[in-house]
């Protein structure tokens, strides 16, 4: 019996040790699991912080882009400058970009093959896509014996070469941005050309000053000098409108034959009889128009 008790005690002690070891092992496993969970949380926090830093960097970068939007860096190759980069602002860029370009090579691409100067009002041949100044290519097609082909690549264009030309709006806009003074210079030269031809008595189409003179923008009134039953009224005339034209108008209103009757009509302005070749501009310079109303009085001569 004693032997059995001793063996039973040994077995119970062994079981107790095994149970304690199992508990220790379980506790270690739980600690390992807690450590892994804490490491995962740390990794998540680290990833969140990285994402937050990336967002802050992108936000600050976008803010910088907003400040430096629409800038292109052009390589000037100019030794006299402290930097070899020149900043040119372009208003139409949708996002900021920095481009390093060789200035001489760029400028060569912006020159007309015919005049060797920078494009002015560039036109492109649709068949071969070669570009020229408008005046250069129009002159070439008008004077050259080989006007039915491109002056650069000799591509056949046809009997109506002007129809193959397309205005290059994008290139023209780029030139006006890179060389803003060109547009003002072109305007001054164009106005000088119009003025030269206008003063020579042969105005060109598109002359705004000539169009203003021709446009009926002067209000005048005509009234009979002695007979109130005759026609009276007002109408618009241009400054180039002359007295003989006014007499013809009066004859028409009076329903008289122009060829026979207009010489029998006398037109006066401020008690001054007017000559047939007087224009409204001459009358204004000589007698002075009023701001509110300018009345021309007419009377009919009695036939001899």
List of domains in the chain: 71-107 (no CATH), 108-206 (3.30.40.10), 215-300 (3.10.20.90)
Task: Give the pLDDT score at 262.
Answer: 59
Task: Give the pLDDT score at 268.
Answer: 92
Closest CA to 165 of 131, 123, 132: 123
Q: What percent of the chain has pLDDT over 90?
A: 10
Average pLDDT score over residue span 86-114: 66
Task: Give the pLDDT score at 86.
Answer: 47
Model confidence band, residue 142 (pLDDT cutoffs 50, 70, 90) = confident
Q: Which residues contact 287 (CB under 8 A, 6 or more apart)?
A: 269, 270, 272
Question: What is the longest distance spanned by two Cα atoms in the chain?
Answer: 180
Query: CA-CA distance, 221 to 56, in Å (whole number)?
Result: 76
pLDDT at 83 over 50: no
How many Cβ atoms are within 10 Å of 96's Cβ, its own excluded?
Answer: 16
Model confidence band, residue 214 (pLDDT cutoffs 50, 70, 90) = low
Model confidence band, residue 153 (pLDDT cutoffs 50, 70, 90) = very high
Closest CA to 122 of 132, 113, 114, 130: 132
Q: What is the mean pLDDT of the chain?
A: 75
Task: Give the pLDDT score at 189.
Answer: 84
Q: 100 vs 174, 179, 209, CA distance in Å?
A: 17, 19, 45
**Lowest mean per-residue pLDDT among 48-62, 127-141, 173-187, 251-265:** 48-62
pLDDT at 223 over 80: yes
Average pLDDT score over residue span 136-140: 89
């Amino acid at each position: 019996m004693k032997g059995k008790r001793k063996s039973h005690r040994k077995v119970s002690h062994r079981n107790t040790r095994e149970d304690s070891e199992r508990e220790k092992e379980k506790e270690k496993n739980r600690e390992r699991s807690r450590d892994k969970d804490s490491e995962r949380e740390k990794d998540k926090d680290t990833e969140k912080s990285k994402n937050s830093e990336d967002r802050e960097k992108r936000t600050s970068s976008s803010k910088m882009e907003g400040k430096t939007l629409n800038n292109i860096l052009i390589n000037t190759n100019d030794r006299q400058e402290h930097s070899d980069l020149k900043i040119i602002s372009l208003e139409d860029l949708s996002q900021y970009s920095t481009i390093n370009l060789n200035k001489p090579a760029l400028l060569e691409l912006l020159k007309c093959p015919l005049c060797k100067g920078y494009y002015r009002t560039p036109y492109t041949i649709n068949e071969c896509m070669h570009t020229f100044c408008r005046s250069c290519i129009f002159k070439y097609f008008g004077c050259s014996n080989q006007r039915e082909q491109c002056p650069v690549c000799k591509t056949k264009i046809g009997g109506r070469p002007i129809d193959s030309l397309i205005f290059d709006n994008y290139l023209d806009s780029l030139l006006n941005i890179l060389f803003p003074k060109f547009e003002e210079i072109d305007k001054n030269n164009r106005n000088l050309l119009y003025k030269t031809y206008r003063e020579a008595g042969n105005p060109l189409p598109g002359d705004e000053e000539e169009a203003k003179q021709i446009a009926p923008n002067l209000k005048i009134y005509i009234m009979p000098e002695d007979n109130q039953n005759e026609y009276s009224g007002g109408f618009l005339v241009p400054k180039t409108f002359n007295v003989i034209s006014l007499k013809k108008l009066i004859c028409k209103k009076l329903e008289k034959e122009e060829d026979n009757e207009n010489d029998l009509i006398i037109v006066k302005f401020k008690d001054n009889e007017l000559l047939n070749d007087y224009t409204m501009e001459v009358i204004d310079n000589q007698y002075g128009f009023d701001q509110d109303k300018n009345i021309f009085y007419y009377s009919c001569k009695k036939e001899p």
